[in-house]
Structure 1
Amino acid sequence: MASLKDVAKLANVSLMTVSRALNNPERLKPDTLTHVQAAISQLNYVPDLSAKKIRGARATANTIGVLALDTVTTPFSVEITLSIEETARAHGWNSFVVNMFSDDSPETMVDLLLSHRPGGIIYTTMGLRQVPVPAKLLTLPCVLANCESLHDPVASYIPDDEQGQYEGVKALLAAGYRHPLCLHLPSQHLATVRRRKGLARACLESGIDPDSLLHHYMEFGDEHYRDIPAMVESHMPGGKPHFDSVVCGNDRIAFMVYQVLLSHGVRIPEDVAVLGYDNMVGIGDLFLPPLSTVQLPHYDIGRLSALHIINGDSHRETVRVNSPWLQRDSI
């Protein structure tokens, strides 16, 4: 790989001149800049940003470091990091991601992130949760995406789960369904608590006691999606549902519900309507019929978090991002 010295030799200029061409091109005469840029192009030279950062030992302007806890390894929230990168590029910034898994040492991963000298930091997680924010992260502009701080006041951008569930259930009830079976995510999840509030608000507005409905909560762990069929069938004596709709904690639960209902000859939505949540990437339209659901606003969360850093925002509030209701054919 070509070095800075190689460029300087080919262009017959000093190392300082090449450095200025890369970092302060306005300080060079146009002819000199063109000459150096031609040498860079001919050699396919790539600037060594890490070396520059080490020499400067300071934050690199226009670079966002992303500490991703279980985020980029999942199809559900990869849009967060995608949006951060696209937003950064659109504003002349760069971004890089350091993955942190549940069994990693947070201190080690934070040190790795900071060794790249970012100008700002976004800490993002898979699944809405509360996290302790390492003190070292707060030495730079820092924002949380899809999570909230347990202790320190830190700006956060999270889904508005209560409003999203309210809009979905409101549409379900407005369509004439009055006896939903509610299959929730695990009760300890932040999203579960907030979505239950949204469901209750929609029910009360329609004159329905939310506590009178049929409620089931999943146990924690992906293996417990296999418990969903038994939950549904427990309210289907003889294969006939004692409910007219199913409110699902997410689209994966809805996928299991579809299989149970269709295997018993129950028509969707003529006999039973189904409401999902999340709008799983590339999946919602593949349900037959297409699944009515609520959009988790991961792309908007990534965009707003990046803009928080880029614009130099200083607030430390929690911003709830709109989770839109998506009307399809299952209601």
Structure 2
Amino acid sequence: MVTIKDVAARAGVAFKTVSRVINKDETVKAGNREKVLRAIEELGYRPNRAAQMTRRKKSGVVGFIADELLDVPYTFDIIRGAQDEAWRSNKELMVVNVSERKYSASGAVEHLLAHRVEGVIYASMYHRQVIIPELLNTVPTVLANCYDQNHAFTCIVPDELNAARQITNQLLDKGYRRVVFLNLNPKIIAAELRKQGVEEAFRQRFGSTDNLHVESVINDVDNREVSTTRERAKALITEFKPDAIICGQDPMAVEVYFVAQALGLQVGRDIGIASFDNWDVLPQLVEPQLSTMALPHYDMGKWAFNYLQGPQTINSKKHTAPFEFIRRASF
């Protein structure tokens, strides 16, 4: 096994210099850094993380509790954002997946604390209120894509309100005047804030919402979510006669594409369609491609990780991350 002393001998530098390069000490002279990195590559040296954790007062490990995050592929970007920052900071990100059905959040916290994590990111699969295990009060913690019931922890959540204003104004700027908003389940915070944003944009532009119809097409029925997207889209296109439809999420928008096609309407020409989320490759699989507001998952992951690395003196506990408008050809 190649040791740090072997690297020092190959590079012709002191043992401590190799250690400083491995730990990304920026005060190491460029020439020495280059020698050490070359020797590491030539010898195939790999730092012993376990030994480093034993020697250091800090573990260099940040915990990441994924609360059902792995159930929805496009939310992986929260982990990716935190992971990229962890690599840049020479830290390890320890990810633990939890769910109501199988793995408990309390068990995950105990596991992370046993590994001496320096802090914990608690992230949810969608913007919602969560119940935080009391043990997290013993370690620096930040929430991503969620907030706790007592508002005791700093959190970063999507700016649903401004995203809804922005997508509505994009439509209105293009000349659309009669709009249907097919919303998400009214029980979730995203539905409430997006409805508010769409209505505010209409009132600001026209002074009323006379030419706006808002309706939730995902609702709880017998303890499960049921979508009536296709039925209601068909009825509203026929009766309300909108020139544009805003959809609460991209899969819903794809269903509206099918309805419009069945009614002989061409999306982007006869009717505009806008959406939220930018769900993986889905918006690019339809024709014309779907214009949508991209959730800031990656940015929330980065922000959460960097918050834990800072002094944590920010007074405001709730922070919002802006969506990005992805312009394609659906309106």
TM-score (norm 1): 0.81
**How far apart, in 2, do the equivalents of 1:124 and 1:137 lie?**
13
Residue matched to 1:131: 130
| 1:207 counterpart = 2:207 | yes
**How far apart, in 2, do the equivalents of 1:211 and 1:139 lie?**
52
User: Contact (CA 8 Å) 2:63, 2:119: kept in 1 or not?
Assistant: yes
User: Contact (CA 8 Å) 2:99, 2:105: kept in 1 or not?
Assistant: no
Q: CA deviation at 1:59?
A: 4.3
Q: CA deviation at 1:131?
A: 1.1
Residue matched to 1:318: 318
Relative distance call for 1:112 and 1:56 in structure 2 (3 A) is: farther
Residue matched to 2:295: 296
Residue matched to 2:231: 230
**How far apart, in 2, do the equivalents of 1:88 and 1:78 lie?**
15
Q: Percent identity?
A: 25
Residue matched to 1:116: 115
Which amino acid in structure 1 is aligned with residue 116 of structure 2?
R
Q: CA deviation at 1:311?
A: 2.4
Q: CA deviation at 1:140?
A: 1.7
Aligned CA RMSD, in angstroms, stands at 3.4
**How far apart, in 2, do the equivalents of 1:186 and 1:304 lie?**
28
- For this pair of structures, how many residues does the alignment match? 313
Residue matched to 1:31: none
**How far apart, in 1, do the equivalents of 2:322 and 2:271 lie?**
28
**How far apart, in 1, do the equivalents of 2:39 and 2:277 lie?**
50
**How far apart, in 1, do the equivalents of 2:327 and 2:17 lie?**
55
User: Contact (CA 8 Å) 1:204, 1:210: kept in 2 or not?
Assistant: no
User: Contact (CA 8 Å) 1:199, 1:210: kept in 2 or not?
Assistant: no
Of 42, 52, 75, 2:73 maps to 75
How is 1:1-331 mapped onto 2 (pairs within 5 angstroms)? 49-50=49-50, 53=53, 59-61=58-60, 63-102=61-100, 103-205=102-204, 206-209=206-209, 213-220=213-220, 224-225=226-227, 227-237=228-238, 242-315=241-314, 317-331=317-331
**How far apart, in 1, do the equivalents of 2:78 and 2:242 lie?**
36
Greater shift, 284-293 or 117-126, is seen at 284-293
Relative distance call for 1:248 and 1:210 in structure 2 (3 A) is: farther
**How far apart, in 2, do the equivalents of 1:160 and 1:204 lie?**
20
Relative distance call for 1:23 and 1:241 in structure 2 (3 A) is: same
Structure 1: stretches of 5+ with no match in the other structure: 12-16, 27-35
Q: CA deviation at 1:255?
A: 0.8
Higher normalized strand content (fraction of residues): 2
Structure 2: stretches of 5+ with no match in the other structure: 9-13, 26-35
Residue matched to 1:33: none
Q: CA deviation at 1:23?
A: 8.4
Residue matched to 2:29: none
**How far apart, in 2, do the equivalents of 1:214 and 1:195 lie?**
10
Relative distance call for 1:182 and 1:39 in structure 2 (3 A) is: closer
Greater shift, 99-108 or 153-162, is seen at 99-108
User: Secondary structure of the residue that 2:277 maps to in structure 1?
Assistant: coil
Q: CA deviation at 1:312?
A: 3.1
Q: CA deviation at 1:217?
A: 3.2
**How far apart, in 1, do the equivalents of 2:20 and 2:131 lie?**
37
User: Contact (CA 8 Å) 1:216, 1:231: kept in 2 or not?
Assistant: no
Q: CA deviation at 1:324?
A: 2.2
User: Secondary structure of the residue that 1:95 maps to in structure 2?
Assistant: strand
Deviations 1:122-161 (A, max 9, x none): 1101000111222211222211111112114211111100
TM-score (norm 2): 0.81
Relative distance call for 1:165 and 1:24 in structure 2 (3 A) is: closer
